[in-house]
Amino acid sequence: MPVPVLERAAAEMLDWQGTGMSIMENSHRDKKVVAMAEETQAVLLELLGLGSEWKVLFCQGGASLQFAMIPLNFAVGEVADYIDTGMWSTKAYQEAEIVGAKPHLAASSKADDFTYIPREYKYSEKPRYVYLTSNNTVRGTQWPSFPQDAPAPLIADMSSEFLSRPLDLSKFALVHAGAQKNVGPAGLTIVLIRPDFAETARKNVPHMLDYRTYIEHDSMFNTPPVFAIYVAGLVFKWLRDEIGGLAKIQKLNQAKAEYLYNAIDQSGGFYRGTARVDSRSPMNVTFRLANPDLEKTFLDEAKKANMAGLNGHRSVGGMRASIYNAVDFQAVKTLVDFMAEFQKKRG
């Protein structure tokens, strides 16, 4: 989380907009809360350069609920194409099967341990949509560009890279992102959806799983995660007003990632990146040590040096530096300096 956002939220914790209460104590039907949610939607669309052809929905349940909600709305009994690039797209495929869709695997990088983004696809004849995960936290890969030849609208889970770079969403019908990486506290899931696509959803979907419910009630069919929406709005304004937009944050993110990847590549093999160079993620830098026996020591010493969260996902091990928007360049430099000192002592 950006420090200015945390400071603003802390300052308003006891008295939000002169109400004498935290925003968490105000009714979600209160005019000021409704206005806050509407402004948050507007600033997000402004950041992304999108217009009224898109709707911003505030959902709950994380990306994991979207894995089921998407096929439940659009593909029960129908074919949908999935591009598998790791754990989260695999889970999305499995959830589609559970709800009664007919997912078709259009491409997968599983055979090479999900170290790259596929460039060739075998689409089905008439898929309902084509689903992908744009940034893969576990394997440290990211789509540098999206398919242009898909035979159906694209849908993407962008949770771990949302708002880290400008995006061309002209080929997409729906994008979803859990807030807890680049946007705000856990508990909020942002969905961007084209209303005309939402209208093609099947009938008799339970209200809280029907995108049309969120559109019709402006995400307030029930009590939404008000505090998370409020903090997300502060983050959006920070990106717009203090950073200068998504093109600027992309440059900052690229500089951080290049600095860290260079340290890995120039270590003489002591450190080894796990993702192919052409598929590397600027958000999640995954790497191993040439000597696996040193990895626990590396993590233990890093923690003593006040660097937490460097362990890789439990399913793959190794190291992972998640350098999201709010992580500044100095933090990355501190890590690189530590890596150099560790290599000097242990190499």
Is the pLDDT assigned to residue 283 strictly greater than 90? yes
Single-letter code of the amino acid located at 19: T
Q: Which regions of the chain does DSSP assign to beta strands (E)?
A: 55-59, 79-84, 102-108, 130-133, 135-136, 141-142, 154-157, 172-178, 189-193, 271-273, 284-289, 319-322
Degrees to nearest 5, angle at CA 333 with 329 and 338: 150
User: Distance (Å, rounded) from C-alpha 45 to C-alpha 35?
Assistant: 15
State the average pLDDT over residues 35-39. 96
The fold for domain 3-243 equals Aspartate Aminotransferase; domain 2 (3.40.640)
Spell out the domain ranges in the chain: 3-243, 246-346
User: Distance (Å, rounded) from C-alpha 302 to C-alpha 342?
Assistant: 9
| Phi, psi dihedral angles at 155 (to 5 degrees) | -130, 135
In percent, how much of the chain has pLDDT > 90?
A: 97
Is the pLDDT assigned to residue 304 strictly greater than 90? yes
239-279 residue pLDDT tens: 999 999 999 999 999 999 999 999 999 999 999 999 999 99
Is the pLDDT assigned to residue 61 strictly greater than 90? yes
177-194 residue pLDDT tens: 999 999 999 999 999 999
Report the relative pairing of strands 55-59 and 189-193 from DSSP bridges.
antiparallel
161-180 residue pLDDT tens: 999 999 999 999 999 999 99
Single-letter code of the amino acid located at 278: D
pLDDT reported for residue 344:
96
Q: Are 161 and 120 in contact (CB under 8 A)?
A: no
Within 175-294, residue ranges assigned H as helices are: 195-198, 211-216, 226-237, 246-265
Q: Cβ neighbours of residue 337 under 8 Å, at least 6 residues apart?
A: none
pLDDT reported for residue 127:
98
73-119 residue pLDDT tens: 999 999 999 999 999 999 999 999 999 999 999 999 999 999 999 99
Q: Are 260 and 285 in contact (CB under 8 A)?
A: yes
Is the pLDDT assigned to residue 39 strictly greater than 90? yes
User: Which are the catalytic amino acids?
Assistant: 88, 157, 181
Q: How far is CA 106 from CA 98, 151, 253, in A?
A: 19, 11, 30
Is the pLDDT assigned to residue 347 strictly greater than 90? no
Single-letter code of the amino acid located at 55: K
Band the pLDDT of 315: cuts 50, 70, 90.
Answer: confident
Closest CA to 141 of 127, 160, 122: 160
Longest dimension (CA), the chain: 64
pLDDT reported for residue 29:
85
Beta bridge partners of 81: 104, 130
The fold for domain 246-346 equals Aspartate Aminotransferase, domain 1 (3.90.1150)
Q: What is the pTM of this model?
A: 0.95
DSSP state string for 97-131: HHTTBEEEEEEE-GGGTT-S--------SS-S-EE
pLDDT reported for residue 271:
97
| Phi, psi dihedral angles at 129 (to 5 degrees) | -160, 170
Output the CA torsion 264→267→272→275 (10° steps): 40
Q: Say if residue 97 is exposed, middle or buried (CB neighbours under 10 Å; 0-12, 13-18, 19+).
A: exposed
pLDDT reported for residue 44:
97
Q: CA 204, 206, 207, 212 torsion: positive or negative?
A: negative
Q: Are 302 and 310 in contact (CB under 8 A)?
A: yes
| Phi, psi dihedral angles at 226 (to 5 degrees) | -60, -45
Report the relative pairing of strands 189-193 and 154-157 from DSSP bridges.
unpaired
Q: Which regions of 9-72 does DSSP assign to beta strands (E)?
A: 55-59
